[in-house]
Structure 1
């Protein structure tokens, strides 16, 4: 069980990149963490519970939420970070790629968020943070990304819908919309070219996205916000 009054966050896609950074940031805030991904390793921190599984499978969501409540007794925040990005011409996408991207980016959000909100309602409040993509607002001819726009765009719209649906019941819902960030997804030799796509002229750092998530966590008057952290990408070119 968590220390009395200790808040608890569930983080998907938590094994590397932005997810791992968010885990560390919430621990610094004193939160207990339930971290899930297909490859997340066991933690020697008693306040970090890891649950392996494919978030596209609703059974994984059930296991994660159940394990978190059994271990820590509560869930205060859910960070929907898990995501797949496949950039290719629209007519080249396969049925398997469509199923995979929709399964993680939308299906992975759907069930775990339902379960988390159900628990938050019983507790009287909570916070959802969704990680989307600036390509939703600013399509780029150099980065064909219809599946990202279809799924992360849906997530972005759902952010506002959830914020309004639960605004009077103590649950805030926000999103962070990253631009091109230095993560394991992008080999270092591509960094200069990718950075040149952004108005600010460089890629973002993992810490930029983590800081945005923590800002939203600590902003009780902010809900329904799509916080663009993208070097100006969503503003224009």
Structure 2
């Protein structure tokens, strides 16, 4: 992946920040995006203001933001090799309490953001006849939990899982790989935003009896980005969350 150009949305905190750091350290050219410019700039400085990275703030639910990311990648690094659709929002809310604005938020940021940014990236990847798109989903699409009602965000994430398979089918002939990473419970600022005060208390949901770390998602993203023969797959990085239970 050295000198390959990688675009990462939601790169200012948590999983996205870890992915950006992982690729930057290994010599990839990275374009970082977040809706919060202040946080994005702070992260860029924390990473040492690397010469092989640039950042641009913008709301990915707006179609022109994805186009701006592609334009910056081409302008600075001359290619668009990998897109990692990490940006998203997620929070629990009982089904009967969900309002229209809740659905609009999740579908705009999670699904439309992924959709539009991928449209812009694949348009360029077709010219190159090569590329990799990595979406971030969730194990909860295939493994629902009674005590964690999250139908609103899950409908958008489920759509992303389906989008992954269809895009893999549509653009395989162009040597464009499209995959999803479905994390389990990961130690990140997202947990606190969702009201989970101690994420380690959820370790028992995983057969490995621990929660995941952000670098473990970064490792998976790097593997998929560098693989030439994996497409249309959903890779669960979840410590056994989806395959069984400890009793």
Smaller-chain TM-score bracket: over 0.9
**Would you say the 8 A contact 2:15–2:217 is kept in 1?**
yes
State the secondary structure of the residue aligned to 2:207.
coil
* 1:207 lines up with 2:204 in the alignment: no
Q: CA deviation at 1:48?
A: 0.9
* 1:138 lines up with 2:108 in the alignment: no
Report Cα offsets for 1:117-164 as digits up to 9, x if no partner.
Answer: 010010111000001000000000011111232111111111111111
**Would you say the 8 A contact 2:11–2:86 is kept in 1?**
yes
Select 1:32's aligned residue among 23, 26, 29.
Answer: 29
What is the rounded CA distance, in whole Å, between the counterparts of 1:195 and 1:6 in structure 2?
Answer: 37
State the secondary structure of the residue aligned to 1:166.
helix
Instruction: Name the one with the larger helix percent.
Output: 2
> RMSD in angstroms over aligned alpha carbons?
1.5
Report Cα offsets for 1:48-102 as digits up to 9, x if no partner.
Answer: 1100111111121122211221222111000000111020101112222211111
Select 2:5's aligned residue among 4, 8, 32.
Answer: 8
**Would you say the 8 A contact 1:79–1:128 is kept in 2?**
yes
TM-score by length of 2: 0.90
Q: Structure 1: which 4+ aligned runs deviate by more than 6 Å?
A: none
What is the rounded CA distance, in whole Å, between the counterparts of 2:237 and 2:50 in structure 1?
Answer: 30
TM-score by length of 1: 0.93
* 1:55 lines up with 2:90 in the alignment: no
Distance change >3 Å, CA 189–CA 86, structure 1 → 2: closer
The corresponding residue for 1:185 is 190
Gaps of 5+ in 1: none
* 1:115 lines up with 2:120 in the alignment: yes
What is the rounded CA distance, in whole Å, between the counterparts of 2:67 and 2:209 in structure 1?
Answer: 42
The corresponding residue for 1:21 is 18
* 1:229 lines up with 2:237 in the alignment: yes
Moved more, 193-202 or 161-170: 193-202
